[in-house]
Amino acid sequence: AISNFLDSHTCYSVIRASGKCVVFDTRIPIQLAFYALVEHDMQAAPLWDPAACQFVGLLTVTDFIDVLRWYRRTGADVSTLATRSIADILTDSQILSTVLLRHIPRRGADPQTSNSDASAQNINHHNVFLSADANTTLKHACKLLHQHSLDFLPIMIPDDMRVLATITYTTILEHLVTHFREQRRLFDDTVYDLGIGTYHENVITCQQTQTLAEVLHTLHIHGLSAVPVIDEQSKVKAVYSRSDITFLATATDAQDALSNLDMTLEALLSQQRKDVTTPDVLHTCTTRHTLQSIFEYFAQWKFNRLVVVDEEEKVIGIVSARDLVAYFLDGM
């Protein structure tokens, strides 16, 4: 039923009636591009190469954060980010081969069975532009996201060079839980029994006392977008996302941003805004929650992930929007 649903709906159906899309010329300074993403509340933007007259990749908020990490590690002059173009950064082999080299995350409860041989390899999406046109089915869009380990998929106008929007797993899942209707309750099994998510020894966590630089490095080497934050009793207190720009928003300049990488997570999390709700805020569930209840919860809160906890609020697992969509793909 879900397979038919995803086959009968196109990417155009998940695009908001009113929205905006930011595109960057690769000649502009990367620091300017980052602040434009923040100003427009965007996580990613397609990159246009005017010399080649084509799109050549994506720039994300986390890319800029990772570039800052490289400057901190090498001691290079961070003030040059104000003038170095996107193209210059993305052709710098030292940066591309280190902080901008993506690692494929381990998925599922058993790394021996849930990953292909390719999952042990490192990948880089900065020199290739993968997209889908608006008439592409949601099933094919899901497969593109999943097979290429993408976080974002640009949607193009058919037979045109213009980008309509950039979609994610969360975008597709939101459309699914809003519009999918089924008379029989297909989702009465628990997500734990269905094997949806990552559990036990495969779950990566971090301590409140760790520095931001340490946590960002952990996220990078494990190919993760976020990590549960635990206290000294191993109880979950928050979720830290790689796209969190709190440490940049509080910085007065690039050098101050580098210094903020030495902040502890506890100090950083205390500075986060409390008056807004983001998809990365902490939401929890237990191993007893059914897939149906998770769907209903997502429809209400539209989270990026759930932290699975026990009776003592200790982390057992993680269930992400990616995991939920991948579960339906595996059954197709």
The predicted pLDDT at position 177 comes to 85
Question: Element (H or E) spanning 47, and its range?
Answer: strand 44-49
Query: Does the CA dihedral 112-124-327-281 come out positive or negative?
Result: positive
Longest dimension (CA), the chain: 61
Q: Calculate the CA 183 to chain-centre distance.
A: 33
The predicted pLDDT at position 24 comes to 97
Residue pLDDT, tens place only, 206-262: 999 999 999 999 999 998 999 999 999 999 999 999 988 888 877 888 889 899 999
Q: pTM for the complete prediction?
A: 0.87
Report the candidate in 107, 137, 133 with the shortest Cα–Cα distance to residue 120. Answer: 107
The predicted pLDDT at position 228 comes to 97
What average pLDDT does the structure give for the chain?
Answer: 87
What does the pLDDT average to over 140-152?
92
Q: Say whether pLDDT at 117 is over 70.
A: no
Q: Residue 246, SS3? A: helix
Report the candidate in 200, 229, 204 with the shortest Cα–Cα distance to residue 219. Answer: 204
Give the CB-side neighbour count of residue 102, counting CA atoms within 13 A.
20
Residue pLDDT, tens place only, 180-207: 876 456 678 999 999 999 999 999 999 9
What's the token pair of residue 284? 């929890």
Q: How far apart are CA 272 and CA 37, in angstroms?
A: 18
The predicted pLDDT at position 241 comes to 93
